Amino acid sequence: MTKPLIVVTGAGGFIGGHLVAALRRSGDVRIRAVDIRSEHDWYQRFPDVESLQLDLRLREACFETCQGATDVYQLAADMGGMGFIESHKAECMLSVMINTHMLLAAREHGVKRFFYSSSACAYNVELQRAAQVVPLKEADAYPALPEDGYGWEKLFSERMCRHFTEDFGLYTRVARFHNVYGPFGTWDGGREKAPAAICRKVIEAAESGEHVIDIWGTGEQTRSFMYVDDCIHGIRTIMDSPAVTEPINLGSSELVTINQLVTIAERFAGFQLERRYDLGAPKGVNGRNSDNTLIREKLGWEPSLPLEQGLRHTYDWIYAQFRARRSGQRVAV
């Protein structure tokens, strides 16, 4: 029999690259990896994976992507860390074209299962004013008041998945990611998220000898951070679960301040830095954490790798990338 064909969009990026790697390890499948970037710029590449460079904002590219596929993992989006999404709201919202065309193509080509990667940015911002935030439950996305731009696009695309299931019978699964971090991802250039940015800044301070770090906001804003291995396990388990029929949180419940995140990275470097706070920089909501009651109930599991352990892996990888770039090697950022 022909092996099933699994499509991963956004495969040249951080989470997509790790997902392709995990699917390869699982064995008896064919994989089609798709990204807008040249394959030379992908974070992870594999010779036995069909790799396509396509702009999925275009309808014809999505139909080419889904041809012959059994499962689709739709991770493609124009996004980045808070500095990017707060200054590129229109570009982030244009990702709705990707999700619309991918759903239409999946329906047309008879795709059996469709996974959509949403975000905790879909949650009502009024519930995230305090740093000591009450963990966000799935129902807290309504009444709708998500983060402007990126959050609205995510919430709208969640609704499209729901209605494609209701109207056309397409099997869809939606996970709301909470701050995924780890190696083989963006760590410089403006699109990196807080864990990678802080690791890089600490490394730069160590290498320069200046021992100063700039922190956006007061540093007291709170977040939870999920290591990428937990994220990949969650994606695949959610996709396979008959019990998960509504959007579900996929995130750690280990709440830390940004200052605490800096302190952990400082321990890896072996010294403390002078902290300068940029109160005018983008910082997002004051507090956000994942309520994991539903995922424990539905899957008997939740992301659990301690932040310090995962950040150590991330710091070491970024340090190696930093040193390689400084020596003149080409690295992806």
Residue 171 is among the residues annotated as catalytic for this protein: no
Would you state the structure tokens that stand for residue 200, as one six-digit string?
A: 């890089």
Q: How many CB atoms within 10 Å of residue 195? A: 28
Type of residue numbered 181:
Y
State both tokens at 73: 């993992």
Cα Rg for the chain, rounded, in angstroms? 19
CB 149 within 8 A of CB 173: no
Strands (E), 105-157: 113-119
Q: Look up residue 39 and give its two tokens.
A: 């394959």
Cα–Cα distances in angstroms (integers) from residue 215 to residues 195, 314, 321, in the given order: 12, 19, 22
Catalytic residue, from 43, 150, 181, 227: name it. 150
The residue behind tokens 């690259």 is 17
**HSE, side-chain direction, 13 A CA sphere, residue 131:** 11
Do residues 220 and 247 make contact, with C-beta atoms less than 8 angstroms apart? no
Contact (CB, 8 A) for 290 and 136: yes
How many other CB atoms sit within 10 Å of the CB of residue 182?
Answer: 24
Backbone angles phi, psi at 313, to 5 degrees: -60, -45
**Which residues, at least 6 apart from 104, have a Cβ–Cβ distance to it below 8 Å?**
59, 62, 63
Look up tokens 């310090």; give the residue. Answer: 308
Residues 7, 78: Cα–Cα separation, whole Å: 18
Q: Which sequence positions are flagged as catalytic?
A: 150
